[in-house]
A = this chain, B = another copy of it.
Amino acid sequence: MATMADVARRAGVSLSTVSYALSGSRPVSDATRARIFEAMEELDYAPNLVARSLKGRRTRIVALLLPTDDSDADPFMTDVITAAAETARQSGYHLLLWTEPFESSTDLQTFVRQGLVDGALLLSVQLEDERVAVLQRDAIPMVLIGRTAEPDPFTFVDTDTEQLTDTAMSHLAELGHRAVAYVGPPPSELERRYGFVERIQTELETSAGRHGVELLTCHPERGPAAGREAIGALLFDRPDVTAAVVMNDPALAGVIQGAQAEGRRVPEDFSVLGLLTSALVADATTPATTAVVGSPTSIGRLAAEAIVEVLEGGGAAMPVRQELVGCELVVRSSTAATAATA
């Protein structure tokens, strides 16, 4: 690898002149610049980012904090990550993967102190997130994807859960449903105090109330069998329930099958609506599941934009950016008007 000194020698100028030609931070005559660029060309020169980082005291690398035990969110996460990486790259930044189980932030602590990363993007933020405290202690700029219990004064990007739940409930209410099952994530997710899950629960209740709908909650484990069982038990108790809102991809098919096993046709007698259901899963059920989905791509992009903005902003006091990303109803074939309505 050629260095700047090689280029300088070849072009017959000093090291610093090469630097100025490259950065433009001081004027360089056209003739000199031409010779320098020619020399660079001939030597296949590319500036060494490590040296630049050392001198500039910033690496333009952002850590992507990825909890390893959050596999439910996989398809969603991939899109977030890809979009974030793309966006960051366009601004000259890079994303460095930092995977770790949910609780164990001492490693994170020593990691960020090593100065490899300028900032961090936090995925799957929990209501009380240790990682936030750790980063805050060392004043590492960060952007959360998700929200902590007390969102201020952090910059975050999150799905607009209020819109999400409201889109879901209005859709069902308009179709005439008055008693709806909420099939939530498995119990293990609840214990983790994952903000997203709790927010959905309360806002779903609020929204149901507003639409005059009664909501009945259950939290089956992963897998279709658990889904079948949960909806079966629920329908046995409450045969007046005519629809289910499902935020549990692994159990989704089970919910449909369970309802069918109770003698309900889907969607004629019983509607099923997915929440943040991955397209692959929604299309795999019979019938295909109508769902309200977020926009992982926008989230990734916005998060990357936000962290870049913070890092480029230098010391300037910036307004904290808190963005909610809208949701969309993707109509497939699992919801329909109730008999009463139709």
Residues of A within 8 A of B (CB): 1, 44, 46-51, 53-54, 59, 61, 64, 66, 68, 71, 74-75, 77-79, 81-82, 85-86, 89, 94-99, 110, 113-116, 223-224, 249-250, 252-253, 256-257, 278, 280-281, 283-286, 288
Contacts and interface: CB of A to CB of B under 8 A. Distances in A.
Nearest to A113: B46
Given A75-B74, A284-B285, A50 B116 contact: yes
A334 to B, nearest CB: 12
- Which 4 pairs between the two chains have the least Cβ-Cβ distance? A46-B113, A284-B284, A253-B284, A85-B97
Contacts of A283: 223-224, 250, 253
A156 B130 CA distance: 38
Chain A binding site: helix, strand, loop or mixed by DSSP? helix
A59 B53 CA distance: 12
B49 A115 contact: yes
A113 B44 contact: yes
B114 A85 contact: no
Contacts of A51: 54
Contacts of A53: 50
A66 B283 CA distance: 26
Given A1-B115, A78-B78, 13 more contacts: A1-B113, A48-B54, A51-B54, A86-B99, A96-B97, A249-B280, A250-B283, A252-B284, A253-B286, A280-B280, A281-B281, A284-B285, A286-B286
Nearest to A284: B284
